[in-house]
Amino acid sequence: MKKLVIPEFNIDGNLPEGIHSVDTEEFLNRFSTYSARRKWLGERLREIFTIARATGKIERIFVWGSFVTAKESPNDVDILLIMTEDFQLGEVPIESKHLFDYITARVRFNADIFWCKASIGEEVLTLFLETYQLTKDFKRRGIVEVKLS
């Protein structure tokens, strides 16, 4: 299997345009190592990935924003969880529910976690992902899809 590689940042400190797919360990090794803040956020992300995987209902995870830039001390992490069609919030174990409550997740993980079911459809998902690939000043940037291993 070909190893997935995250490209270098461009001159603006962003990833090149597009969606860059990598496994969990490469993602965390690349973005969670070069400052104390990043290490701390990386530990929160590892917990998020573990909880998402434990639901047995995660299909895809996307990360964007300052965490996937060259910024030394990102404010937070922005995440979109795509859950399976049969995901039911009421069936999520109590210890995992905080992942799906925006305010609780914001406080616990310092992350803006958005989620939806795969039934949202490719067209709507594409619109979301296109939006996440724009900076605040409307420049195109790359985002990351994390493949849970």
The pLDDT assigned to 121 comes to 92
- Given strand 142-147, what is the order of strands in its sheet? 18-23, 142-147, 58-64, 77-83, 111-117
* Topology (CATH) of 19-147: Beta Polymerase; domain 2 (3.30.460)
Token pair, residue 4, equals 């997935």
Q: How confident is the model at residue 149 (pLDDT cuts 50, 70, 90)?
A: confident
- Mean pLDDT, rounded, of the chain: 94
Number of alpha carbons in the 13 Å side-chain half-sphere of residue 137 = 2
Token pair, residue 81, equals 């969880």
How confident is the model over 3-37, as pLDDT tens digits? 668 999 999 999 999 999 999 999 999 999 989 99
How confident is the model over 53-71, as pLDDT tens digits? 999 999 999 999 999 999 9
The answer to whether 52 touches 61, Cβ cutoff 8 Å, is: yes
Number of alpha carbons in the 13 Å side-chain half-sphere of residue 18 = 9
The pLDDT assigned to 3 comes to 61
Q: How confident is the model at residue 2 (pLDDT cuts 50, 70, 90)?
A: low
The pLDDT assigned to 4 comes to 66
The pLDDT assigned to 93 comes to 86
More confident residue, 19 or 1: 19
How confident is the model over 112-148, as pLDDT tens digits? 999 999 999 999 999 999 999 999 899 999 999 999 8
More confident residue, 50 or 1: 50
The pLDDT assigned to 104 comes to 95
